[in-house]
Amino acid sequence: MQKNRRRLVAVVMALGLLAAACGSGRSSTSGDGEGGTDTTGATTATTSGASFGTLPSPCGPAEGGAANAATGDQGVTADSVTIGYGDDAGYQAAPGLNKEMSEAVKAMIGWCNDQGGINGRTVKGNYYDAAILNATNAMQEACSQVFMLVGQGWALDGGAEQTRVDCKLPQVPGYTVSATVAHGPMSYVAVPNPVDYTPTGNADLFAQQYPERVKKAAVVYADFAANVEVADKVKATYPEWGWNFIGACEQTYPIAGVAQWAPYIQKLKDCGADVVYFVGSPIPNFQNFLDTAKQADYSPLYMTDANFYVQDFANANSSGNADKVYMRMAFTPFEQADSNPATKQYIDLVKSEGGQPALLGAQATSAFLLWATAAKGCGAELTRQCVLDQLSKITSWTGGGLHAETNPAGNLPPDCVMVLQMQGTAFVQALPGTEGQFACNPKYVTKVDGIPAIAAAKLDADRRSTAYTGG
């Protein structure tokens, strides 16, 4: 039972990583206590002056020394603003789950307060541990305590969305899993993961590199709603770039994994799949899949999503079984930090606070910066409605250069992409050929039609979910 629970966690965590880029190098320590813990950000975070990467810092004293006042909104006083953030670190089967997101937000709170806060208001943070299964309880606490949620990541976020909508709590989450949350009202995401549009640049780059092999492709995915959604998106959009999915090759596996992958491998061999798109978790499921494929002398190319950019997965590749694994990326890889100021700044900042850099943390950092930029635009009159109004105007966002350009206001993912490849225990850039460059094309954000998850989200004309608003 315990083994199955750990497998479940690994797959569930994969869900939240499908936004654009996530999860790397988790440590095994637990989170920071119970829900609602106050962390004011009184840290020794090293500031970098007046910017985060290419982004002018949204933090600092009130302009012109103007006095702030309490605006009447929850969590706002003349001197401070209290936000909520959180993760699933308290899940007993996997202590520390997601904690890199909270580490990042705490570091950013300290970085911001060292500069004077937001227009002179000290940023305070309340931490909420959803522990996978307690997202609704965490949301209920946050509903009565904070101004907004910022940079949080809860793997089962859909279970808490009704509560959030009912209490009218705005958010700028670090990632979203459920389609209803990805399109939720009062919500903007730094790296959007909508159900009706999806990034496909990796499909084009890969097809240009291997035009014949993508004509014999297969999808293997876990039988869980969010994994099915990803597989449906891939099957619906990749054929536009020359991919052909052999129907007889498609396979699903139990979310908790399987004891024997041999039958799955044999079916892929028999149907002639040259490229396998694997949806799920890198460890242990995909690692075991690759080991079995090696034993069966089956050697296709693999395409995966950014959640496979995990150092533990790389460390496990001492045998080279994963050397033909490719993954889509929208964030600058940490290996290229020396040539990208925002990435290096994020890594240095988190490490200075004793945290572990990870792509989930980079996403939470971008979310905090997006919220802070919008809050700064409100000046002394800091209200939820003002922040939402400011967010609705931000159509171009890179988190200071942490990732490819997104459109938070339009809820659209990036149209720039990079493809990484495993080489031994390292991640290297495979496509495009020039290191540090992304391949960009407006067509790389592709409209998705006809998949069940779109209907379930009940989108209105503005592409907002009405599932919990009564239309």
Count of CB atoms situated within 10 Å of the CB of 274: 17
pTM here is 0.91
Domain membership flag for residue 2: no
Domain membership flag for residue 352: no
Tell me the H-state helices in 189-308. Answer: 201-209, 225-237, 262-271, 287-295
- Compute the distance between CA of residue 83 and CA of residue 231 in angstroms, rounded to an integer: 35
132, 38: one domain = yes
218, 270: one domain = yes
35, 77: one domain = yes
147, 285: one domain = no
CA-only gyration radius of the chain, Å? 21
- The answer to whether the CB of 333 falls within 8 A of the CB of 420 is yes
155, 278: one domain = no
The DSSP secondary structure of 3-59, one letter per residue, reads HHHHHHHHHHHHHHTTSSS------S---SSSTTEEE-----PPP-SSEETTEEPS-
Domain membership flag for residue 73: yes
β-pairing, 51-52 with 55-56?
Answer: antiparallel
329, 369: one domain = no
Domain membership flag for residue 1: no
Mean pLDDT calculated for residue range 319-327? 97
Mean pLDDT calculated for residue range 79-108? 94
430, 384: one domain = no
143, 286: one domain = no
- Structure tokens that stand for 323 in this block: 């050397």
Give the CA-trace dihedral at 466, 238, 189, 329, to 10 degrees: 160
309, 181: one domain = no
**pLDDT tens per residue across span 272-298:** 999 999 999 999 999 999 999 999 999
- The answer to whether the CB of 323 falls within 8 A of the CB of 422 is yes
- The answer to whether the CB of 321 falls within 8 A of the CB of 315 is no
Domain membership flag for residue 56: yes
- Compute the distance between CA of residue 8 and CA of residue 223 in angstroms, rounded to an integer: 12
- Compute the distance between CA of residue 215 and CA of residue 84 in angstroms, rounded to an integer: 47
- Compute the distance between CA of residue 226 and CA of residue 178 in angstroms, rounded to an integer: 7
CATH number of residue 227's parent domain: 3.40.50.2300
Count of CB atoms situated within 10 Å of the CB of 376: 20
Cβ-count burial 308-347 (b if 16+ within 10 Å, e if not): bbbbebbebbeeebbebbbbbbbbbbbebbeebbbbbbbb
Average pLDDT, the chain: 90
278, 425: one domain = yes
Task: Among 10-24, 44-58, 87-101, 318-332, name the most confident range.
Answer: 318-332
Residue 2: what pLDDT? 46
Domain membership flag for residue 363: yes
142, 176: one domain = yes
Q: What share of the chain is helix, strand, coil (3-state, %, to 5)?
A: 40, 20, 45
- Compute the distance between CA of residue 48 and CA of residue 431 in angstroms, rounded to an integer: 32
141, 153: one domain = yes
**pLDDT tens per residue across span 154-173:** 999 999 999 999 999 999 99
- The answer to whether the CB of 149 falls within 8 A of the CB of 98 is no
Domain membership flag for residue 402: no
Number of domains making up the chain = 2
Range of the domain at 126: 16-194+359-391
* 8-17, 43-52, 356-365: least confident range: 8-17
Mean pLDDT calculated for residue range 129-134? 95
Angle formed by the axes of helices 359-376 and 384-391, nearest 10°: 110
